[in-house]
Amino acid sequence: TLDELLLSQEHYESDVRSYPRRLPLAIAKAAGVLVEDTRGQLFVDCLAGAGTLALGYNHPEINKSIVDQLESGLPYQTLDITTVAKDKFIKQLLSFLPESFANNACVQFCGPTGADAVEAAIKLAKQTTGRNTMAAFHGAYHGMTNGTMAMMGNLNTKSRRQGLMADVHFLPFPYSLRCPYGLSGDEGAKQSLRYIERMLSDDESGIQKPAAIIVEPVQGEGGVIPAPAFWLRELRRITQEHGILLIFDEIQCGIGKTGHNFAFEESGITPDILCLSKAVGGGLPMSVLVFNKEIDSWNPGEHTGTFRGNQLAMATGAKTLEIIERDGLVEHAHKAGMYLRRGLEKVAAQTSCIAEVRGKGLMLGIEIVQSDGSKNKFGEPVADPELTAAIQRSALERGLIIEKGGRQGSVLRFLPPLIISFEQLDFVINTIKEAIEVHVE
């Protein structure tokens, strides 16, 4: 078995981190969508640095952009002092954004991690509005720092400590399958809007008017749940009417993954603040806020941090955006996403353990439930985290890396690089089918 092999594997001596425990392999080499482990087994990687590697591993032009920059004499650490590389990155990022947002935008570098961008967004929103509370959604994931974890609506193993800061209100996210109102589709989403608007209009509701509402246009860690476009538009209207800032966290769903440059674009509206990280740095650590100039309440140097000027990430980030546009990879993500979705839907039609195939573009998820059709007390299919883990493990044994997620750990998540081929997607679909068949008749 894989476990026996792993015990004999010198690279798997220390069981100190969560990912190796669930994805027990030691990577020796990687290229494109493929990973080779130290035993020489090949894997198709649909996790890809949690969506960080838009162009896959070791893209030759990305690697060359690092070497070129090192050889050009540009420094790789400048705090946040402007450089040629930084200028180029900002121009490239702004041209990747919708014009209406980019024309009036400030770009703020925030440090290496996504959580750094979210922390900066919280701070900016509080400073601009003079208010001290935030609102976030059930199922949300925004990072692992105190402030970001306070907005975590996804209480699985990643967030056992709740209530780190007591200034966050949680609002219902439009999760059709497990809607708090017992309504599926748009009806449940409309009820969530009604709740939000009702509470914000009621001074006695206990909800203090928040500085901002933060939302992932497609929840990732929370189980790959897209917010409907009309719901986002209504959220924009409500926040505007109440003078509340709207923050989109596209750290995971941004940069082409959903078949749009940014997931929010489908809704036709823009946020006040956009948080970006992961793929925006082309595989190297970087996070950025893009926000409307009108809410720029910071004095120069007011939001600082030593490692906010990762020059190599600016080079790889700019190059990544350039290649995505040049090679039409957003369009490819759309088409390839449809293909994967249809394939997964076919698998779902042949088994009783998939309650839903959902997502957008190449950011997809399948929710695994008890295959005997049992229902919980709310009349919903019962999430099956053990079966999910077993399918994940069987897929791994067959050469497919996929991540798990969801509030109950019962969603298999697909987040492959934008360059994944149709042939590779056939492998993904067949492998999932086989991995399920190991456990479910």
- The contact set with ligand PMP (CB under 6 A) reads 50, 113-115, 118, 141-143, 216, 220-221, 249, 251-252, 277
CA distance 394 to 8: 20
Rounded distance between C-alpha atoms, residue 270 and residue 86, angstroms: 24
Q: Compare residues 90 and 118 and give the one whose CB is closer to ligand PMP.
A: 118
User: Least distance to ligand PMP from the beta carbon of 52, Å?
Assistant: 9
Structure token digits, residue 312? 């190599």
Nearer to ligand PMP by Cβ, of 251 and 355: the residue is 251
**Nearest CB to ligand PMP, comparing residues 143 and 337:** 143
Smallest distance from ligand PMP to CB 68, Å: 26
Between 220 and 417, CB nearer to ligand PMP: 220
Outline where DSSP puts E strands in 241-386.
245-249, 273-276, 287-292, 354-360, 363-368
Report in angstroms how near the CB of residue 141 gets to ligand PMP at its nearest: 5
Q: At what angle do helices 185-200 and 229-241 cross, to 10 degrees?
A: 10
Rounded to a whole number of angstroms, the minimum distance from the CB of residue 143 to ligand PMP is 4
Alpha-carbon radius of gyration of the chain: 21
User: Given phi > 0 = left and psi -120 to 50 = alpha, else beta, which region is 312?
Assistant: alpha
Q: Which is nearer to ligand PMP, 263 or 420 (CB)?
A: 263
Token reading at 167: 């200034």
The DSSP symbol for 305 reads: -
**What is the nearest approach in angstroms of ligand PMP to the Cβ of residue 223?**
12
Comparing CA positions, the residue from 275, 330, 311 lying closest to residue 54 is: 330
Q: How far is the CB of 277 from ligand PMP (least distance, A)?
A: 5
3-state SS, residue 83: coil
Q: Report the nearest approach of ligand PMP to the CB of residue 287 (Å).
A: 7
Q: Which residues pair with 57 in a beta bridge?
A: 32
What gap in Å lies between CA 310 and CA 77, rounded to an integer? 6
Tokens 């069987």, residue?
A: 394
Q: Where are the extended beta strands (E) located within 101-255?
A: 105-111, 134-137, 168-171, 212-215, 218-219, 225-226, 245-249
Q: Which is nearer to ligand PMP, 310 or 394 (CB)?
A: 310
Residue among 172 and 217 whose Cβ is closer to ligand PMP:
217
Cα dist. 210→82, 132, 133, 156, 304 in Å? 34, 7, 5, 25, 25
The one-letter amino acid code at 219 reads Q
Among 206, 72, 186, 207, residue whose Cα is nearest residue 135? 207
Distance CA(248)–CA(394), nearest Å, equals 35
CA separation for the pair 120, 111 (Å, rounded): 10
CB of 59 to ligand PMP, least distance (A): 21
Q: Specify the residue, 142 or 439, whose C-beta has the smaller distance to ligand PMP.
A: 142
Helix (H) or strand (E) holding 36: strand 34-37
Looking at the Cβ atoms of 24 and 153, the one nearer to ligand PMP is 153
Of the two residues 363 and 400, which places its CB atom closer to ligand PMP in the complex? 363
Shortest Cβ distance from residue 221 to ligand PMP (Å)? 5
C-beta of 155: minimal distance to ligand PMP in Å? 15
User: Least distance in Å: CB of 171 to ligand PMP?
Assistant: 16
> By Cβ distance, which residue is nearest to ligand PMP?
114
DSSP-derived letter for residue 32 is B
- Give the nearer residue to ligand PMP in terms of CB position, either 144 or 438: 144
Return all residues near 357 (Cβ < 8 A) that are at least 6 apart. Answer: 341, 344, 345, 348, 364, 365, 366
